[in-house]
Chain A
Amino acid sequence: MLIPHPLLGPRDAQEFTYLGDASLLDRPDGMADTAPEAFAEYVYLRDNPAGVHRELWFHEQGDRSWLIVTRNTVTHEILGAELARDVALAAIGGAQ
C-alpha cells in the first residue's frame, strides 16, 4: 500500500506503524465525574466498519508524524491522509 503523506507525498506503508481507529484522539477528561464510564468506552469500544474507516498510522521510519488515514477497509482505497496534530488542534479550536 502507498500512503499519501501530507508533507512527504506517497510513501510505502511499510514505513508506517498502524495503531487503529482515529477515535483515540477523543480522549476523555480524566478529572471529570464521568471519567470511569468515558474511559471504559474510550479504551475498549471500537467501530469495525467494512468500508470507510479513519485510522491512525505512525510514520515511524520517516518523519515521525502521526497521520489520520481515511481508508476503505474493503478495497484498501485510500481517500486521504491528514496530520493527526492538525486534526487534534482543529478539534481543540472548535471546542473553544
Chain B
Amino acid sequence: MTRLSGGLIDRGTTLNFTFDGRAMTGHPGDTLASALLANDVRLIGRSFKYHRPRGLVAAGSEEPNGMVELRSGARREPNTRATMAELFDGLSADSQNRMGSLGFDLLAVNDLMSPFFAAGFYYKTFMWPRAFWEKLYEPMIRRAAGLGSLSMLPDPDSYDKGFLHCDLLVIGGGAAGLAAALTAARAGARVILADEDFRLGGRLLAESHTLDDAPATDWIAQAEAEFASLPNLRVMRRTTVFGAFDHGIYGAVERVGDHLVTPGKGVRQTLWRITAKRTVLAAGATERHIPFANNDRPGVMLAGAMRAYANRWAVSPAQTVAIFTNGDDGHRTALDLAAKGVSIAGVIDTRADARAQGDYPLFAGAVVSDTKGRLGLKRIAVTREGQTQWIEAGALGVAGGWNPNVHLASHHRGRPVWNDDLLAFLPEPGAVPGMVVAGAANGQGSTHGALHSGAQTALAALAELGITAPAPDLPRAEDAPVTQAAFWHVPGKGRAWVDFQNDVTVKDIKLAHQENMRPVEHLKRWTTLGMATDQGKTANVTALAVMAELSGQSIPATGTTIFRPPYTGVSLSVLGGGDTGPNFRPRRLTPTHEWAASQGAVFVEVGQWMRAQYFPRKGETHWRETVDREVLATRAGVGLCDVTTLGKVDVQGADAGEFLNRIYANAMGSLKVGMVRYGLMLREDGHAYDDGTCARLAEDHYVVTTTTAQAGPVYRHMEFARQCLWPDLDVQLISTTDAWAQISVAGPNARKLLERVVDGFDLSNAAFPFMACSELTVCKGLRARLFRISFSGELAYEIAVPARYGNALMARMIELGADLGATPYGTEALGVLRIEKGHAAGNELNGQTTAQMLGMGRMVSTKKDSIGAVMSRREGLTAETRVLVGLQPVDPGARVAAGMHLFAQGAAQNTQSDQGWITSACYSPHVGSMIGLGFLADGAARIGEVITGANPLEGQSTALRVVSPHFVDPEGGRLRD
C-alpha cells in the first residue's frame, strides 16, 4: 500500500522501525499503527482466547486489538497499543499472544474448540477436581490465553511525580477543549490543557471539515501560537488524565520520553496530581461497532478510525473498502476515502431510506452478514431482504454510532443518562463536583457544537470562580445533526464479536441471558466482557443493547457500567513515581552513623532508621562471635551504644506532672526533680502500649522516652490526649527525638569513663544515684543531659548532647576509654543485654499483652484515672495468668527459638494445652547457653519446673527450665553501685 495524498506526516524524514524483525519505514507524525498500515501490515496480533488473527480496529486509545510488545530487553513493554505508540527511529515492535509465527499460530486450534470456550466455561469446567486447578488448568489457561510477556528485568528508566494547581483544567485538546482553553486563558485564568495525543486537535485532525473555509489545522496552529504567548496556560501533550478524585484532584500521566528511543537522562513518564478549581471534560467520543458474523477479521475496523487514518496519516487499510453503517456518519468515511482515491466497493446502510451522498454503490436497508479472508478481509456478504451477495473488499469500516467518553464524569459513581435521540449515554450532570462536560463527550459532537459548548462551559466555570470573560469569536464549522438508526447487531448464526480483546461474542451474551446472568454486573463477570486492558471502550454499550434486546427491556433499564480510574492503563513504574530502591522511603541516620560506618559496622534497618547492628573486628568470622565479644566487654568494662532512635518527647508546663499522671499507668506527678522513673503506658482498652523512662528536669519540665518503633504513634497519642481529652491542662509537647544524640554508657567502668568527659560534675553514687538525671556540660562547655538508667543491668548512664555533636562524642569516649575497655556495641548486643536482664521490649509489648503479664500489674495506679486503667481491670484481663518468665534449656547445647509455644512436659501439643509462648531468645554469653523470655501460664509459681518448648514447624521439642527473667544480677546490685 502506498500512502494517500495529504496527511499530517513529515514525508521529508524517514523513520526506520521493525515489526516481528521485518524492517519498515514511516514518517514523523505516524503512530506505529498508521506506519504498519502504510507497510501493508493488517495482521497485528492474535486474539486472547481463540487466537483468531486480528488487526487494528481503532486509531486511538480505545484500541482493543492492536497490541504489541514494544522495544526489547529491559525496556520491553507488553500490551502496548500500536495506535498510541508514536513512531520513532529505531522502534522495534513484536506481535504477541502467538505460538509459532503470527501467520500460523499453533494455538489457533482453540478457535476450532470454540463451542467449549463459551461464556462461563472456566467456571463450569475447571471447578473439578480442585487439585487440578493450580497444577494444570491455571498454567494451561495462562499459557493459551495471554497477552504480552514481561521482560523480568528491572526497569532501567526513571520516573517522576509532580503537583500542579489551576483554576481550570481542560481535559481533551479537540475542538471543545481548544475553545474552552482559549476562552479561559484569554480571561487570565490559570489553565491546564491536557491531551493524550502528541498533537492537539482531537477529531479535527481526523476529519476533512474546514473551519472558516480553511483547513482545521490552520485554526489549530493559530490557537497554539496564542497558547505559546499566554504564560497562564500550560499545554500538556502526551498526557492522559486517568482519574477524577475527590475535591478537584485529578491524576495524570505525561509520557515524557515514550516517543524517544531511550529517555536518556530524562524521565520516561511523570505522574501528575492536578488540583483544579474547575474542570471542563472534553474527552470526545468513541465509535462503536455493529457485531455481525466473523466481524473480527483484520481489515474490519471502525469507520471513524478508517477516516482518521486516511485524513491524518494518509493511509488506507486497503485499495478497495466498504462501509457498514446505521447512520450518516459512515457516509462521511466513504466520501473522504473516495476523495483520496480509495475505491469504495459499497456503503451498506441498515436504513431502508438511506441515500448515497456521493458517487459510490449504496445498499440501503442492507446488512453485512458474514466475511471471508483468514488472515485479512477479502470479501463481505451483503444481505438485503433475505438475498445475500458477496462483495470484494480489502477493508470494511463499521459505523455504529458514537459513545460519549463519560468515564471521568462517572468516577464518583455518577450514572450515565441514556439519551434516546442520540442513542447514547450522556454524563450525569454534576456527578463530579466542579466538572462540566463539553463537546462530543456531552453529546455535542458536531464541530460547531463542540466549539461552542467548549467556550460556553468554560465561561460558566469561570463565572463560578468570579472570573468574567468575553465569549470568543469561533470559526464557522459544520453542524450536521446525528442521524442514525437504533441498529445494534446483525442477527445470524456465526460468531459476532462484541468485545474483541476478551473474545466475547453475541452468543456469549445470549448464553449469559439464558443462564440468568442478566444484571450487567453478572453479565460482565460471566462473559469477561469489558474486563480486558481496554475496559470494553468499544464494546460495553453494544453489549448492553444486545442484552436489552434479549431481555425485552430498554437499554437504560438494563444498566450501565460503573467507571473507575484509570481511564487507560497506567504503569506501576509511574505510579511509583521514582520512589524505588533507596528512594522507597526516607532513611534516617543516627548521629553516630558516620563514625559507626568508619568502624566497619554492619547496619540494620529499624523502621526508617539505619542502626549499627554489630561491629565486627578483624578475625571474627561469625556475627555471634562479634556480639558475644561486645556483650562480655560491656559487662566486664564499658560498652557504648547509640540509642538516639528511642523516641523523646519534651513535656513542659505547670500541669506537666498531672498530664503525665493521666498518660502513664503509674504516677509521674510525684517524681522528684532530678530523678527518672520507668513508665508504662496502656492503651485505652487496657493492654500495654509502650514503655520508657520519664525524667523530671524541673518542676514544670519532663523528658519522656518511647520505644523506637512507637516514637511517632506515642507522640500522636500524647497530642491527642493534650488537645482532645484535657485541653484545660497547661502543658506543651514537642518531639525532640532528632534533636538529641543519646549514647548509652554501660558497664562497671561507665562512671570512670564519664568522669573523663564531664566538666567537674560529681558522679559519685551519693551525688548522682541510680535513676538520677541532670543537665550539665561535657567536653568543656557542651550542654548535655545525663540520665542514670540501665537497660543492661550494669552500672549505666545515657548521655545526650545536641545531635550534631553525637558523632564527635562517641569518637571521643571510645578514645578516652581505651584503657577502660570501651567497646562500641550494636543492636544485637543491646538485645542480648536486655534479655539477660529480663527487660521487656517490643517483642513483649506486642499489643496483646498486659501490665499484669509483664509483671507490672501493681504499677497500674488505682488512686488516679489514667488512660487504660479502667479497662485493664476488667475480668478478662485480670483472669490472665500468663506472666513473663525466663527460660533456660536443660541441655545447654539446645536451641531456644522465639515463637516456640510452651507446654507442660508430656502434654499433647495443641491449642487446648498451650500454656504460652517465647517472645525473645538469644545466646547468652553470661549464662553460657541460649536463653529465652516468654509468657507462661501461672509462671510465677513455676520457677524451677521443667517444661517443653515446641517448634512444630521445624519438628523441634526442647526441655526448658522455668527461671527468673533476670538472668543477670537479679538483686539489682550492679546498677545501684
Task: Name A residues whose Cβ lies closer than 8 Å to a Cβ of B.
Answer: 1-2, 17, 19, 24-25, 27-31, 35-36, 39-40, 42-44, 56, 58, 60, 64-66, 75-78, 83-85, 88-89, 92
Contact = CB atoms under 8 A, between A and B. Distances in A.
Contacts of A65: 723
Contacts of B258: none
Contacts of A58: 716, 719-720
B874 A36 contact: yes
Interface of B: 245-249, 275, 412, 433, 684-685, 712, 716, 719-720, 723-725, 727-728, 864-866, 869-871, 873-874
Classify the interface of chain A: helix, strand, loop or mixed. mixed
Sorted nearest first, the 7 A-B pairs with minimum C-beta distance are A30-B865, A85-B723, A2-B247, A76-B246, A1-B246, A88-B727, A39-B870
Contacts of A64: 719
Contact of B871 (A24, A43, A66, A83): A43
A38 to B, nearest CB: 8
Contacts of A27: 725
A25 B719 contact: no
7 contacts: A30-B866, A35-B870, A36-B870, A44-B685, A66-B719, A66-B723, A77-B433
B657 to A, nearest CB: 18
B726 to A, nearest CB: 8
Contacts of B869: 30
Contacts of A85: 723-724, 727
A39 B868 CA distance: 9
B865 A29 contact: yes
A15 B287 CA distance: 42
Given A2-B249, A27-B725, A42 B684 contact: yes
A89 B724 CA distance: 8
A85 B723 CA distance: 5
A19 B549 CA distance: 50
B720 A19 contact: yes
B427 to A, nearest CB: 17
A88 B725 contact: yes
Nearest to A64: B719
A39 B727 contact: no
B870 A56 contact: no
B166 to A, nearest CB: 14
A25 B684 contact: no
Contacts of A42: 684
A56 B249 contact: no
Nearest to A39: B870
Nearest to A2: B247
Contacts of B248: 2
Given A31-B864, A40-B874, A44-B685, 19 more contacts: A1-B247, A2-B275, A17-B716, A24-B720, A25-B724, A29-B865, A30-B869, A40-B871, A60-B716, A64-B719, A65-B723, A66-B719, A77-B433, A78-B247, A83-B723, A85-B723, A85-B724, A88-B724, A89-B727
Contacts of B873: 36
Which of A30, A35, A76 is the most central at the interface, judged by chain B CB atoms within 10 Å of its CB? A30
Contacts of B866: 30
B412 A75 contact: yes
Contacts of B728: 89, 92
B712 to A, nearest CB: 8
Nearest to A59: B719
A60 B724 CA distance: 15
B576 to A, nearest CB: 16
Given A58-B719, A64-B719, A31 B865 contact: yes
A51 B247 CA distance: 17
B155 to A, nearest CB: 25
Which of B245, B728, B864 is the most central at the interface, judged by chain A CB atoms within 10 Å of its CB? B728
Contacts of B864: 31
Contacts of A31: 864-865
Contact of A88 (B246, B249, B723): B723
Contacts of B684: 39, 42-43
A24 B724 contact: yes
A30 B865 CA distance: 5
Nearest to A37: B870
A12 to B, nearest CB: 8
Nearest to A19: B720
Contacts of B874: 36, 40
B724 A66 contact: yes
Nearest to B273: A12
A90 B412 CA distance: 36
A28 B249 CA distance: 40
Contact of A43 (B247, B685, B712, B720): B685
A76 B864 CA distance: 41
A31 B684 CA distance: 14
A28 to B, nearest CB: 8
B352 to A, nearest CB: 48
B871 A25 contact: no
A39 B871 contact: yes
Contact of B870 (A1, A30, A60, A77): A30
Nearest to B245: A1
A17 B870 CA distance: 27
A2 B245 CA distance: 11
Nearest to A90: B727
Contacts of B249: 1-2
Contacts of B871: 39-40, 43
Contacts of A2: 246-249, 275
Which of B247, B412, B716, B720 is the most central at the interface, judged by chain A CB atoms within 10 Å of its CB? B247
Contacts of A75: 412
Contacts of A36: 870, 873-874
Nearest to B412: A75
Nearest to A58: B716
B92 to A, nearest CB: 40
Contacts of A24: 720, 724
Contacts of A17: 716
A2 to B, nearest CB: 4
Nearest to B275: A2
A35 B275 CA distance: 47
Nearest to B726: A88
A39 to B, nearest CB: 5
Nearest to B866: A30
Contacts of A43: 684-685, 871
